[in-house]
Amino acid sequence: MSTFVSFLQALFALAVTLGLVGLAAYAARRWGPAGLIAIRKPGERRMQIIESLTLDAQRRVVLIRIDAEERLILLGEGRMLTAPPSLSPKA
């Protein structure tokens, strides 16, 4: 009988713990700070690939649009080979 009571007590403790975790997740989604997670609609992307041109087996040129500005990037060997000055980090 004692083992059965211990089992029920453990099962009840597990149910309470899972319920509290679920309640905390619900509260975080409902009343959490919206500024931490900015969810965009699918049509509101800031960056788009306009066109891509393969130069050879290892390099290609990509024209991208960021907000209202278009930029041309040369890609190759798994990295960006050249970038216009507007893409380089500013000192």
Instruction: Give 34-61 pLDDT, tens digit per residue.
Output: 545 556 566 677 888 999 999 888 888 8
- Residue 10: predicted pLDDT: 95
Token pair belonging to 12:
């009840």
Reported pTM: 0.43
Cβ atoms within 10 Å of 22's Cβ, excluding its own: 10
**Are 26 and 70 in a shared domain?**
no
Residue 86 has pLDDT above 50, yes or no: yes
Token pair belonging to 2:
């004692």
**Are 61 and 25 in a shared domain?**
no
**Are 45 and 31 in a shared domain?**
no
Q: Report the domain count for the chain.
A: 2
**Are 14 and 50 in a shared domain?**
no
The Cα–Cα gap between 61 and 79 comes to 12
What residues make up the domain containing 7?
1-39
What is the four-CA torsion angle of 37, 89, 76, 48, rounded to 10 degrees? 40
**Are 44 and 34 in a shared domain?**
no
